[in-house]
Amino acid sequence: MDAAGPLPLARSARGADLPTLLITDRSGAERSVEARSGRSLMENICDAGFDELMAICGGCCSCATCHVYIDPAWTDVVGEPGDDETGLLDSSPHWRTNSRLSCQVEMTDALDRLRLTIAPED
């Protein structure tokens, strides 16, 4: 998030304005990817080719294999996890206060340039 306000949306190869995610993988490499609003972060991360995000349950909030860390500057914008999500995150040895299950966060234009890191595998 920019202190001067929201940054303009990225232009896709098709000319459409698409929000962008800034994703750090488990090796520490960061990549900027176009994201589709209305889809979960998990779907956008998987569609971008991050195979290390297992997403075994397919987004049903039953496995915690899509665990990510939201950049602390974005946690208020992303919001708090629900009870089911919190229960799964509490069981992770890699839980942090900025942990979220990416299947439970819907991508919106307000999340353009969201930074997140894929959590270690449990």
| Candidate CATH numbers 3.30.460.20, 3.10.20.30, 1.20.120.80, 3.40.1260.10; the one for domain 10-118 | 3.10.20.30
Q: What is the pLDDT of residues 58-115, one digit of tens each?
A: 999 999 999 999 999 999 999 999 999 999 999 999 999 999 999 999 999 999 999 9
User: What does the alpha-carbon distance between residue 112 and residue 60 come to, in Å, rounded to a whole number?
Assistant: 24
- Over 50: is that where the pLDDT of 2 sits? no
Single pTM value for the model: 0.86
Letter for the amino acid at 104? Q
List the structure tokens of 52. 């290390």
Distance CA 109, CA 17 (A): 9
Could you tell me the sign of the dihedral formed by the alpha carbons of 71, 69, 23, 112, in that order? Answer: negative
Rg (CA), the chain: 14
| C-alpha of 115 from chain center | 8
Assigned token pair, 110: 């307000």
